[in-house]
Structure 1
Amino acid sequence: MNTLDTDAVIPVTDSVTPLPGSGTGRPAATWHRAQVLASTPHGRGHHFLRLEAPSIARTCQAGQFVMLTAARDEDTGPVLPRPMAVYARNPQAGTIDILLGVVGDGTRRLASFRPGERMLVVGPLGQGFRITRGTRRVLLAGRGIGTCSLTTVAQECAGTEVEIVAVASGRSADRVVGADVYRAAGVTRLHEVTDDTGSSEVTRLRDMLIAELDQAPPQQIMTCGSERLARLCEQLGRRWAADVQVSLEAHMACGLGYCHGCATGTRSGPEESPLICADGPVFRLAHPDTDR
């Protein structure tokens, strides 16, 4: 959503289902001409924005997203908005943080906004992650910029009895995302794994997580950013009988469900495929009952 770090295998969309009650109980979206408070490069190929958006900061749920329009007041041509996960929020200050991958004209334009300028922001949007009653431990597994969809889960759990175990994966240390937010939220069991050290290799990561968590496994697993990582989470969910939720990424034109341009591709009987913007972006990653 903030521009996926592609790591393709069998598409997880083949086995996702909307969360129960998807589309209900979410906060109403609001429209802001948000002032840009900070705009700085962040790591390799990423850019950090802090926006003044009080109602979004106050009501946004973990895993929800916003639509950012990279048009300035003097622009006359149409500019499509971009969906961006909320990286962090501060309800007291009325701010939201966005971390985006700078990969094309649209994201370069978003990164060109300077403090003091205003940007059109609509949100919060979508179905966020859902922490069920009785959960005591959650595993968050994110890859690259996809980790931005998970960091607000850690913020939401800060100061509660829910313990967060986090995996932040990237091609190299300067592409690992989320460690700053995780640490600020009090996450102490944080694993930063990278391709160049081999620590992000799926089998190695699986063995490490099993060794650490098998005796007291998480009741829920949440993931975003990599097909391989999602499939690993699916396997661990079977092993631990854990609920697995995945945040999907998609290009969107509206983010509200009007354009129907972000269907998952998984049909529900005769009905249209669930929409990532309206029924997601968070879905349950269903797993068949196979040998554990």
Structure 2
Amino acid sequence: MSLASLPTGTGLEILPEETDARAGALSLDAPVLVHHHERYRYRRLVLRAPDIAARVLPGQFVMITPARAGESWPVLPRPMAVYEADPAAGEITIVYGVVGEGTRRLSGFRPGESLVTVGPLGRPFSLPDRTRSLLVLGRGIGTCSLTMLASQAVDRGLAVTAVASGRHPTAIVGGDAYRAHGIACHEVYDSDGSSAPERLRQLLADDRVRHGNGAGWDAVAVCGSGRLMALARELGRTTDAEVLVAVEARMACGLGYCHGCSAGERSTAAESPLICRDGPVFRLVDHRGEHSTTG
């Protein structure tokens, strides 16, 4: 979810600080355990990183440097959402798309090699205490920011509904993780029109009726699509749900030092929130300063 995707009339509100990303972050050489092609342009990377696996919270990310020892390029690391974490095994899973030179080089790392990994970073999702039901809306690789949230919500006894959107069936991310935790996942595509906002809106309305959830969800989490964010905002206004959005951005450090991921216009007098330090998870609000639940 990029800042350019924000629907007109919405803004971001910083969540209460539950963790200091810089104080809690670790830097380590994480051995590659599994690395293979999944589908479409996506790859699955499993790293042995016990200390990160034990600390990471839903919505947080790591910075991975796709350079081997002795290589001077690429200099900058890449931010990666943590798709899954297994504290018992000491492992974290990353699902990413090969879209540029950095991720292409990353795709060449094999089991037995190590990657310089820094994390966990950023502010995680924070659901309201009143939350009993959760809707997660993800598009493409943006879904990777939502999978841990959904699985841990189920473990806490919350009712979870998931939507995974993509250009076509092979572009879907997250369905496996959702189904592994018994979460009903609606997979919708551009190729058959099922991802169109009006059709998805009706699908969710029918789902609410079918499951007796006429009042809607207590919280909605979204990442990866401006259309999905607009739908989440609409649901927040009509069902009194709190809307949380995970924002994607290019980053150089991931720690708030470089100030390269400011969330606002360059012309503003005061610096706007940084995605890495103040996010990547924000509460969605309108420009009247009200939460999306009251607009």
Using structure 1 for the length normalisation, give the TM-score.
Answer: 0.91
- Alignment of 1:147 with 2:148, yes or no, is no
1:267-286 residue pairs with structure 2 within 5 A? 271-286=270-285
The one of 98, 112, 129 aligned to 1:102: 98
Letter in 2 for 1:54: P
> 1:185: how far off?
2.0
Q: Measure, in 2, the Cα distance between the counterparts of 1:21 and 1:270.
A: 24
Query: What residue number does 1:205 align with?
Result: 200
The alpha carbon displacement at 1:131 in A equals 1.7
Structure 1 residue 136, shift from structure 2 partner: 0.6
Give the Cα–Cα distance (whole angstroms) in 2 for the partners of residues 239 and 216 of structure 1. Answer: 9
Q: What are structure 1's unaligned runs of at least 5 residues?
A: none
In structure 2, the CA distance between the partners of 1:261 and 1:12, relative to structure 1 (3 Å rule), is: farther
Matched residue, 2:55: 59
- Structure-2 residue corresponding to 1:35: 31
Q: Measure how far apart 1:50 and its partner are.
A: 0.3
2:81 to 81, 85, 89: 85
CA contact (8 A) 2:12 2:283 kept: yes
SS at match of 2:278: coil
SS at match of 2:160: strand
Structure 2 gap ranges (5+): none
| Moved beyond 3 Å, runs of 4+ | 6-14, 21-27, 287-292
Moved more, 191-200 or 14-23: 14-23
RMSD over aligned Cα, in angstroms? 2.4
The question of whether the paired residues in 2 share the 8 Å contact of 1:246 and 1:283 is answered with yes
Whole-Å separation in 2 of the counterparts to 1:26 and 1:233:
30
1:128 positional shift: 1.0
CA distance in 1, matches of 2:74, 2:250: 17
Residue 187 (structure 2) pairs with residue 192 (structure 1): yes
Taking a change above 3 Å as real, the CA distance of residues 7 and 142 of structure 1, as seen in their structure-2 partners, is farther
- 1:133 positional shift: 1.2
SS of the counterpart of 2:249? coil
Select the residue among 99, 109, 134 that pairs with 2:130. 134
Q: Aligned partners of 1:96, 1:13: CA distance in 2, in Å?
A: 37
Asked whether 1:158 is paired with 2:154, we answer: yes
State the distance in 2 between where 1:110 and 1:52 align. Answer: 16
Report the equivalent of 1:231.
Answer: 230
Partner residue of 1:173?
169
Counterpart-to-counterpart distance in 2, 1:117 and 1:13: 47
2: CA distance between counterparts of 1:220 and 1:157? 11
Q: Structure 1 residues 103, 235: closer, same or farther in 2, change over 3 A?
A: same
2:111 alignment partner in structure 1: 115
Matched residues in 1 for 2:9 and 2:80: separation? 20
1:228 positional shift: 1.1
Length-normalised TM-score, structure 2: 0.90
Partner of 1:69: 65
Would the alpha carbon gap of residues 10 and 33 (structure 1) be closer, same or farther in structure 2, given more than 3 Å must change? closer
How far apart, CA to CA, are the structure 1 residues paired with 2:166 and 2:190?
7
Bigger mean CA offset, 12-21 vs 60-69: 12-21
State the distance in 2 between where 1:271 and 1:219 align: 33
Number of residue equivalences: 286
Match of 1:44 in 2: 40
Structure 2: which amino acid aligns with 1:244? V
Q: 1:115 to 1:53 in 2, by over 3 A?
A: same
Shift of residue 12, structure 1, vs aligned partner: 7.1
Q: Is the 8 A contact 1:34 1:51 kept in 2?
A: yes
The percent identity for this pair of structures is 48
Q: Which letter does structure 1 place at the counterpart of 2:96?
A: L
Residue by residue over 1:153-212, the C-alpha shift from the partner in whole angstroms, topping out at 9 and shown as x without a partner, is 02212322211100000000000000111111221x210101111110011101211232
SS at match of 1:68: strand
Q: Comparing 128-137 with 94-103, which one deviates more in the overlay?
A: 128-137
Task: Give the Cα separation in 2 of the matches to 1:119 and 1:243.
Answer: 37
- Give the conservation status (yes or no) of the 8 Å contact 1:12–1:285: no
Change in Cα spacing, 1:78 to 1:102, as seen in structure 2 (3 Å) is closer
